[in-house]
Amino acid sequence: MSTPVLAIDNIVKHFDITGGFLDQIKFKNGKFKLEKTTVKAVNNVSLSIYKGETLSVVGESGCGKSTLARVVLGLYAPSSGQIFYDGKRIDNLSHKQMLPFRKKMQMIFQDPYASLNPRKTVQRTLEEPLRFHNPKMPSIEINNKITEVMEQVGVDPAWAKRFPHEFSGGQRQRISIARGLILDPELIVADEPVSALDVSIQAQILNLLMDTGQKRGLTYLFITHDLSVVQHISTRVAVMYLGTLCEVAESKTLFENPRHPYTRALLSAIPKVGETVAKHIKLKGEVPTPVNLPSGCVFHERCVSANKRCKAEVPKLNTLEDGTQVACHAVEEKRDIA
């Protein structure tokens, strides 16, 4: 394959949640020590996204998928690791050097009620990025562009003078998408764009995203926890658990033949039509806290086929013969997975 549009290389993001200096002092073994408490949100995640594809990142809440999206866009600086856009490293650029890449990567947010500035009309929300990135663009051209994009996302351009609170949730999400599209980006990071919407509206918005994606040749990084959405739209799927990648596979392969024990458990939770006895794989325990990660494989405490090696050694992402990448000792050793 060609060079990926976006390549994430060993990204780590830890958040420091210790307060001030005094909170860091700890008394241990007769000695005072400075200690920081960190939330290990994303640990050594590597991913590549190729042009025109839709890569979905799935996982339960708190697994670090939204953090990953924000690190990609430079909203959070990664603790370590590198991000490449079209082969150029972008995670260490200054605000000014980053600007040309900002035009190419845009984001669509989860909550359409919070993602639009309540004090700005639709017109002003949409013209802000245009004016900022093209200071010399004449007003007529800006207005034409706004009309064009509003029509594309299915919002009547005559409503441009209205404020966000005059729209419904679905309409707001359309406006939010319009803001993402107005700079003609190449990559769109969508952070759970439909999970705040009604089921009937979800389909509309997903279709809109997929149609515009096809028309404009967009590449999507799609963050979601909704597996039925994933199956519907993705080219490839990446499964995350507690800040680490478990499995990356073609969408079809993943749903037909999940490899990683966690993916299996996750997929078994999808209700099926005509199913009389639920065949859910029940995991023991709870998701551990990302403050103190388990040793070795982060999933070993809950995994049915874990052994000593899983407790001691962090599994690496291995590529199988059909292109699926799995990070699991059990799969590697061809252990019998329940």
CB 123, min distance to another protein, A: 12
Angle between helices 95-104 and 122-133 (to 10 degrees): 120
Q: How far is the C-alpha of 255 from the C-alpha of 267, rounded, in Å?
A: 7
Question: Using CB under 8 A, which of 3, 80, 92, 117 touches another protein?
Answer: 117
| Nearer CB in complex with another protein: 115/234 | 115
Question: Using CB under 8 A, which of 111, 226, 250, 332 touches another protein?
Answer: 111
Positions 242 through 301 that interact with another protein (CB under 8 A): none
| Nearer CB in complex with another protein: 75/269 | 75
- By the rule CB under 8 A, 137 interacts with another protein: no
Length of the chain: 338
Q: How far is the C-alpha of 258 from the C-alpha of 221, rounded, in Å?
A: 21
Spell out where the chain has E strands: 6-16, 25-28, 31-34, 38-49, 54-58, 80-85, 88-89, 105-108, 187-191, 219-224, 236-241, 244-250, 318-319, 325-326
Question: Using CB under 8 A, which of 12, 39, 79, 102 touches another protein?
Answer: 102
| Nearer CB in complex with another protein: 178/326 | 178
Q: How far is the C-alpha of 20 from the C-alpha of 35, rounded, in Å?
A: 11
| Nearer CB in complex with another protein: 192/247 | 192
Q: Which helix (H) or strand (E) holds 214?
A: helix 199-216
- By the rule CB under 8 A, 161 interacts with another protein: yes
- Residues forming beta bridges with residue 40, ordered by sequence position: 14
**Helix intervals (H) in 61-121:** 65-72, 95-104
| Nearer CB in complex with another protein: 96/215 | 96
- By the rule CB under 8 A, 107 interacts with another protein: yes
Positions 297 through 336 that interact with another protein (CB under 8 A): none
Q: Is residue 39 within 8 Å of 20, Cβ to Cβ?
A: no
Interface pattern 45-84 for another protein (x via CB under 8 A): -------------------------x--x-x---------
Q: Is residue 64 within 8 Å of 39, Cβ to Cβ?
A: no
Residue type, 237: V
| Nearer CB in complex with another protein: 105/246 | 105
Q: How far is the C-alpha of 119 from the C-alpha of 249, rounded, in Å?
A: 43
Question: Using CB under 8 A, which of 80, 132, 156, 257 touches another protein?
Answer: 132
Positions 177 through 196 that interact with another protein (CB under 8 A): 179, 183
Q: How far is the C-alpha of 33 from the C-alpha of 21, rounded, in Å?
A: 11
Q: How far is the C-alpha of 298 from the C-alpha of 328, rounded, in Å?
A: 10
| Nearer CB in complex with another protein: 212/325 | 212
Task: Candidates 33-41, 95-103, 269-277, 302-310: pick the segment binding another protein (CB under 8 A).
Answer: 95-103
Question: Using CB under 8 A, which of 85, 109, 241, 299 touches another protein?
Answer: 109
| Nearer CB in complex with another protein: 14/259 | 14
CB 133, min distance to another protein, A: 7
Q: How far is the C-alpha of 248 from the C-alpha of 271, rounded, in Å?
A: 22
Per CB under 8 A, residues contacting another protein are 20, 70, 73, 75, 95, 98-99, 102-103, 105-107, 109-111, 114-119, 128-129, 132-133, 161, 176, 179, 183
